[in-house]
């Protein structure tokens, strides 16, 4: 069983080749320059296809290496076969860990304690408000978002969720539509964007929307950079309306070297890694998917092209 990989990153391809060879049974990695003989079931791609699948007619599935597929869907040479986003249990677990980490940081419970240590002071103080007093709102409630929102709820935070279609999730206040979004934001201490990039979400988080948040709210973006107007976000931080932004995704990636985000005292930047498992975990996921495809089983996580994610 062979897998075609389309990537301009030779180091990454080499890593994949090694991990796939380690599986039982092993999977052989093919590259576009290789001969077209043999049983190539699927293509693994980390960006647009750019016509490179034209000669590989046996391929039954395209697997996008990232959770977001907007680049792929914008590519007219993408064949009309099922398209899968790389969302596996490991992706979900890494996303949960990332978001929980930065939500806990946004509560501000630990920074003061650690500053006291550095100053040699024992400052137990009067105790800290419980997590239930901290209002966390997520935008998006899909495959990757729902378990993250549930983790936040299980840690005791007061969690709200906003999505395109109204969801019902025990212990999470669910909202939909523009008007409900605004009322959700008015009672939010930390807003987390987990939206895909679609025509409906591009630039959605702009000055107008950020102004609905209470003063000193903070913001986390693990969705797509294009959902946020970065200039508006920066203005909110600089004008003391927002206390902090944690950004894993950006309008341009990497952001230009003269972007004020890099050195902003109220910005934490990470390089689009919130939900990126190591290649070993991804290779195991691909093996499970290929096995399901070959046995004619349903594959979970297929992209709905009409919705764009």
Q: How far is the CB of 97 from a copy of itself (least distance, A)?
A: 6
225 binds a copy of itself (CB under 8 A): no
155 binds a copy of itself (CB under 8 A): yes
Closest CA to 200 of 306, 75, 87: 306
CA dihedral sign of residues 150, 151, 154, 160: negative
From 66, 151, 160, 218, residue interacting with a copy of itself (rule: CB under 8 A): 151
From 76, 178, 199, 263, residue interacting with a copy of itself (rule: CB under 8 A): 263
Contact between 15 and 9 under an 8 Å Cβ cutoff? The reply is no
Tokens of 67: 């959770």
132 binds a copy of itself (CB under 8 A): yes
Q: How many CA atoms lie within 13 A of 48 on its CB side?
A: 8
15 binds a copy of itself (CB under 8 A): yes
Tell me whether residue 264 is one of the annotated catalytic residues: no
Interface with a copy of itself in residues 61-100 (CB under 8 A): 89-90, 93-94, 96-97, 100
Q: What are phi and psi of 217, to 5 degrees?
A: -65, 160
- DSSP annotation of 231 reads H
Distance CA 233, CA 235 (A): 5
23 binds a copy of itself (CB under 8 A): no
Tell me whether residue 241 is one of the annotated catalytic residues: no
Number of residues that bind a copy of itself (CB under 8 A): 53
Q: How far is the CB of 39 from a copy of itself (least distance, A)?
A: 28
Active-site annotation, residues: 224, 272
């Amino acid at each position: 069983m062979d897998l075609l990989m389309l990537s301009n990153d030779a180091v990454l391809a080499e890593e994949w080749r090694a991990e796939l060879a380690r599986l039982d049974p092993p999977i052989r990695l093919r590259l576009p320059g290789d001969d077209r003989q043999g049983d190539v079931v699927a293509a693994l791609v980390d960006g647009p296809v750019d016509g490179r699948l034209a000669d590989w007619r046996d391929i039954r599935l395209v697997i996008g290496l990232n959770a977001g597929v907007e680049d792929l869907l914008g590519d007219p040479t993408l064949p009309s076969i099922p398209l899968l986003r790389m969302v596996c249990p490991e992706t979900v677990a890494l996303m949960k860990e990332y978001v929980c980490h930065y939500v806990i940081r946004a509560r501000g419970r630990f920074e003061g304690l650690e500053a006291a240590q550095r100053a040699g002071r024992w400052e137990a103080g009067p105790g800290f408000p419980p997590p239930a007093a901290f209002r966390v709102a997520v935008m998006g409630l899909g495959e990757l978002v729902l378990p993250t929102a549930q983790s936040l709820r299980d840690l005791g935070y007061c969690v709200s969720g906003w999505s395109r279609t109204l969801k019902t999730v025990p212990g999470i206040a669910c909202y939909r539509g523009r008007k409900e979004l605004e009322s959700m934001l008015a009672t939010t201490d930390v807003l987390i964007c987990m939206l895909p990039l679609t025509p409906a979400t591009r630039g959605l988080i702009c000055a107008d929307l950020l102004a609905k948040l209470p003063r000193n709210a903070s913001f986390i973006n693990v969705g797509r950079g294009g959902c946020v107007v970065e200039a508006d976000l920066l203005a909110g931080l600089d004008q003391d309306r927002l206390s902090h932004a944690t950004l894993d995704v950006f309008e341009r990636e990497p952001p230009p070297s003269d972007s004020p985000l890099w050195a902003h005292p109220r910005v934490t930047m990470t390089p689009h890694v919130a939900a990126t498992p190591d290649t070993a975990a991804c290779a195991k996921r691909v093996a499970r998917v290929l096995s399901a495809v070959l046995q004619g089983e349903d594959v979970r996580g297929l992209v709905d092209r009409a919705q764009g994610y």
